[in-house]
Structure 1
C-alpha cells in the first residue's frame, strides 16, 4: 500500500473538496474540509460527537495516543459544524452514518473509515495524487510548516514527539531542503 501524500498545491486542495462533493456528496466534502482544519487522525475525526464541541473548541481524547486534544475551531470549521448541526439536529455524531436511520433499535454510528478512505482515494486517482484519510492531516501540517517554517509549532499541532517523524509525515524531503538552500541567498 503506497504512502499517502499531503496536497501541496492549494488549488488542488480545493479541487479535491469540489470533486468529493460532486462525486460522493456534501457529507464527504465536509469531512475533507473539517479534516483539513482540525488535523485529526481519521478515527478521531469520525468519532467527534456534537457534545465534544464546546463553544468554539473541540475537546476530545485521541484514540491512538490517549492525549487530550483541545482545538480552537476556526471560522470555516465553525460554519460547517453549525450547518451540519442545523440540518441534522437529531444526530449524535458530526459525521453520522445515515445507514441505520431506518433501524429503530440501532444506536447511532459515525461513517465508516473504509468508506471515507475509498472516496478520498478515488478522487486522489482522479487528480493524480496518492490520497488517503491521513492526507487531510498531512496537508494541514505541510501548509502550516510552509507558512511559518516553525517545525516545533507543526509538531505541537500534530501532537508528534519527534522532528524527524513530523518532517517525514508532512512530506518535507531532502529535495525541498535543497531547494530552500538554493532559493534563499543571504
Structure 2
C-alpha cells in the first residue's frame, strides 16, 4: 500500500505545496462542533470526517467556509450555500450516498461549481446551534453518528453521517470562527 502524505487517497490529486496552502483566497478558519459535546471538533483523520478532542493547534480542525456561491445558490428555505474546506488538506466535505452514510472528502476546486460539496445552515434550533444540511436536500443533516446520549455520546473518532432530523444534540452544530486571541493564546 502506498504512503500518502497528509492522508490523501485520491488518485491524480497532489496535496498543496505546504500544509494549509489551499487554492482559496486567505480566509478566516472555523471550528465546527455539535451540541452533544463541544469538547470535540470536526477534523480529518485517515481521509475521514470525524470528531476529535478540540485542539486549536491542530490544523486539521480548521475549516474554511467558502461562501463563493452563496449569492447564486440557496436551499429551498432561502439559506445561502457554502463549502466546508479543510485548511490542511484542501479537501471539501461532500454529500454522502444517503441517510446513515458518512460524508466524504474530495479535492476542492473553488472555480468549479460542484453542488455535491455545498451545504446550508438551518434556522437556529436552540442556543445558536443550527443543522448543517445538503443544499439540495435540507432533510438530510450532519449527524455525529451514535453521538446522542442513548448511544454513548460523542467520542474520539465519532463519524459524521447524514441523517433525517431527529432533534438530537448530535445534529445541532456551530460553525464558529477561531478568534485571534484563541489562536495566539
**Which TM-score applies when normalising by structure 2?**
0.28
Q: Which has the higher strand share?
A: 2
Structure with greater Cα Rg: 1
- Bigger proportion of residues as helix: 1
Higher-RCO chain (CA-CA 8 Å, sequence separation at least 6): 1
> Normalising by the residue count of structure 1, what TM-score does the alignment of the two structures yield?
0.28
